[in-house]
Structure 1
């Protein structure tokens, strides 16, 4: 039975072209920097993002942690959003492994605010940790995008105070498409950026970390420390090359499908949709039914060939759906029909 999977864009299957490229990939030992396919992938990623160098990492989480370790000292403090992936979803790696204090800021609607960040920078005080890094996210976990202008303001303020800026760009490709700008226009306003290839771009594994040459040299050693030396990983990088060359140009379809899904859901009497937050391929909706009904909904849909996540913890009756390369407009209509029957 085929399942239509709305749980995330991480569930995408590699395309036939990716599988073919993986089969034929030339490989070497990437720890020794002699895997030709990895080298090609990293050069391509750096070029697309307008950075000097790039590093293939096993995941976005590894990329973010490596970037933090490479731009801070133990005992430093980094600034992040309260709802950021780095703080909420990365197992406290910044504190446990990088040894940094994490200062969280609750931005309105999660959109980073330059004045709030500026006020959170520690003074030169023997009692306080030194603020050394601002970590942004674009697109945000809530489905919104951060504008190029906001990124520029924060980047310029941070540099004026001697701070570096890292961007968790797991969905930076979506953020660029949503703003109709080249991704370089966003990536120029950070010192380092992690970009996933295993979400909307549909590659099976990995992310790419980009920045200046000396930063990537440090990051390569920290990647090794974290167990990220993947040896003959050209078989994975081959899929990444396909992702960067062929999958970025179709992300607008996911965005259009998400908007369609959100608008159709908003027509249900018992559903409220956060239409204002549908900037990319993420849709949040509130189902006004009992807790028991909401908790049972994923299993009811599963029996009809549809996968969705459980209600969001702490937000009773709130669900998150994502469109992706494996979800068609026909699939969305099928979901809507099943919801009508269940509700």
Structure 2
């Protein structure tokens, strides 16, 4: 199977597996795991923050950030298709007792003017705006990059109102690779940031949240409350170090293959690529085929290609480090075989 469902399906490299086997470990709840300490120090340096904390997943990292920043009854402002709102099970309401207020964005980017209107005034009837969240790259916008200038404007507006900004940077390294900048140039316009060590970076598990030392000190208690205090966790932190030091430089390959895939699919009369492919995600409108997206996926599966639904009439394909140029060629041959005549 050529698995294009997500970059979460990646498996650890041989170097990562060796690092897991050889990792020096200790009890991390006591702060005694040297491998975790190295990972957290490295991540903080790369992200330009004072401190960092290893967590089990991106969702856990995002939830810890909301819990640490907010008080029950606060309102969190975020783009209407943000992962925190769309794909995390309503956790910020269930755990933090906050409500969300979503803002329609442009390819995942919130207009500062719309954001300014959404920030609550000082009125007994209103919840306080406790946090503003951004997402870069933006998953449901098709891996779109939120421009640095937009991030800067949002951050400066938040600072005017003394509101913290949290970045869901699950694929922040993809954004940095596509823009040709270091991740700290993006993370500078955040109070806190979460990055996934899995996905494009290829580690088998784990994420990082980073911010000020005082934030991380408070976040550790929320990690403990959520059951995230782990023991000899260096065995899963070790591949995270390799992810940060060895895997970011190859992300452009995934982006090139996604663009190659999108170009080939666009040449099929019955299919339409609906996103501008900035990074490693391709979203395809299949409505002209006259069948539901799930049926399209079944046909692809029968030919050895895996993808996921992204709506009733759209599917998503995601490239990653297990996908080669020959895989892309084969996937395009399958699409052409199944779904129509190539435009000449």
TM class by smaller structure: over 0.9
The structural deviation recorded for 1:302 is 2.1
Supply the RMSD in Å over aligned alpha carbons.
Answer: 1.1
Match of 1:305 in 2: 304
Match of 1:131 in 2: 129
SS in structure 2 opposite 1:283?
strand
User: Which of 323, 327, 330 is the matching residue for 2:323?
Assistant: 327
What whole-Å deviation, never above 9, does each CA across 1:69-97 have from its counterpart, x for those lacking one?
11111111110111000000001111110
The structural deviation recorded for 1:115 is 1.1
Contact 1:132 1:162 (C-alpha < 8 Å) held by counterparts: no
Match of 1:164 in 2: 164
Measured in 2, the distance between the counterparts of 1:79 and 1:153 equals 15
Corresponding position: 1:318 with 2:314: yes
Match of 1:189 in 2: 189
What whole-Å deviation, never above 9, does each CA across 1:229-259 have from its counterpart, x for those lacking one?
1211101100000100000000000011111
Contact 1:35 1:234 (C-alpha < 8 Å) held by counterparts: yes
Measured in 1, the distance between the counterparts of 2:337 and 2:263 equals 18
Match of 1:212 in 2: 212
Contact 1:28 1:34 (C-alpha < 8 Å) held by counterparts: yes
SS in structure 1 opposite 2:240?
helix
Unaligned residue ranges in structure 2 (runs of 5+) = 340-344
Corresponding position: 1:29 with 2:27: yes
Contact 1:138 1:168 (C-alpha < 8 Å) held by counterparts: yes
Unaligned residue ranges in structure 1 (runs of 5+) = none
Match of 1:154 in 2: 154
Measured in 1, the distance between the counterparts of 2:59 and 2:294 equals 29
Corresponding position: 1:273 with 2:240: no
SS in structure 2 opposite 1:209?
strand
Match of 1:238 in 2: 238
Match of 1:117 in 2: 115
TM-score (norm 2): 0.96
Contact 2:265 2:335 (C-alpha < 8 Å) held by counterparts: no
Measured in 2, the distance between the counterparts of 1:224 and 1:127 equals 34
What whole-Å deviation, never above 9, does each CA across 1:149-206 have from its counterpart, x for those lacking one?
1111110110111100000000100111111111110000000000001100010001
What whole-Å deviation, never above 9, does each CA across 1:280-322 have from its counterpart, x for those lacking one?
1001111221225x4322223223322111x323xx3211100
Contact 1:289 1:317 (C-alpha < 8 Å) held by counterparts: no
Match of 1:336 in 2: 332
Measured in 1, the distance between the counterparts of 2:229 and 2:162 equals 32
SS in structure 2 opposite 1:291?
coil
1:58-73 to 2 correspondences below 5 Å: 58-73=56-71
SS in structure 2 opposite 1:42?
helix
Match of 1:50 in 2: 48
Measured in 1, the distance between the counterparts of 2:107 and 2:44 equals 31
SS in structure 2 opposite 1:200?
helix
Measured in 1, the distance between the counterparts of 2:106 and 2:171 equals 20
